Amino acid sequence: MNFSKYLPLLAAFGLTTTGAFAQLVNPHYSNYQSVLGGTSAEYQWGTYTSETRPAGVAASVSGISSQWPLGIAPISGAGIVFRGNQSFGSETTDFLSGASPNSGGIYTFFSATHFQIQSTSPLAGTKTLVLQIAAAEGQTSGGSATPFLSSPTLTLTTSSGTFIDIAPQYSQLSEQMQQVIFGGPQNIDRYDFQWDLTSIPSFAGNVTGYTINWQEGFHAILFGQDVTESSTVRTTNALVPEPSAGVAMVGGLGLLLGLRRLRGVTFA
């Protein structure tokens, strides 16, 4: 999908303006390997642009799930991919250009897009998972700003059975930058989520695979994700807030979006 051809339509709805996009956002992730300890593995995705699509994504991709048959591999590592989940259907997204005046990222356009991370060969003895997601907030169908329409849930496959739609034990907004665009605030967030697998009733045996599913809002922009697997049992909150929220994640960012989103949430 060519985003530029929709600019007149977006302008008619007050959603964009010439030159409103700006510098590429490079996600910043906390080092949860050092926080969790034990044996660990980390996988990162980021710098989504139309110029540098990750491996497995064709140049003509618009985001329909059938166009992501192999998923998107992380920057390094194997046995884990990012893609649209089974609910993705005909939802459309676009890999935005990182060249001026655009900002990069995966834009959910006029659909509320379902995403999924799937691992088929997790770290042996995995007991804790931490997910980090960096994105510009989207909207609900009613126009209210939201970080997610559906927050991440975990489906876990083990040698003792499958456990479905597990909510994280801990979650937090770890970084945020707020920009004023067209007179209204726009939030760029990094949310972190933690699962202690040993807290799942009847959990036993080795983890043989998992999926993490979530749904972005309308007009959200996804900049990247990070997954940390650890052999450590962590029953308390390991999530680490950054002291200078948003600065590292979007360093050098001017105006981010040409999307006029309705009012965001103001954080003190």
The amino acid sitting at 214 is W
- Cα three-residue angle 208-210-222, rounded to 5 degrees: 150
Determine the 3-state secondary structure of 88 from DSSP.
coil
Helices (H), the chain: 7-12, 32-36
The amino acid sitting at 257 is L
At 246, the pLDDT band (50, 70, 90 cuts) reads very low
Helices (H), 120-245: none
**Per-residue model confidence (pLDDT) at position 42:** 97
> Which residues have CB under 8 Å from 70's CB, separation 6+?
56, 81
pTM of the model: 0.80
Determine the 3-state secondary structure of 220 from DSSP.
coil
Euclidean distance between CA atoms 11 and 14, whole angstroms = 5
Please give the structure tokens belonging to residue 209. 């695979």
Q: What is the pLDDT of residues 160-202, one digit of tens each?
A: 889 999 999 999 999 988 754 334 566 889 999 999 999 888 8
The amino acid sitting at 130 is V
At 86, the pLDDT band (50, 70, 90 cuts) reads low
Euclidean distance between CA atoms 67 and 119, whole angstroms = 19
More confident site: 55 or 31: 31
Q: Are 54 and 246 in contact (CB under 8 A)?
A: no
Euclidean distance between CA atoms 29 and 249, whole angstroms = 8
At 159, the pLDDT band (50, 70, 90 cuts) reads confident
Euclidean distance between CA atoms 213 and 223, whole angstroms = 16
Eight-class DSSP state of 16:
-
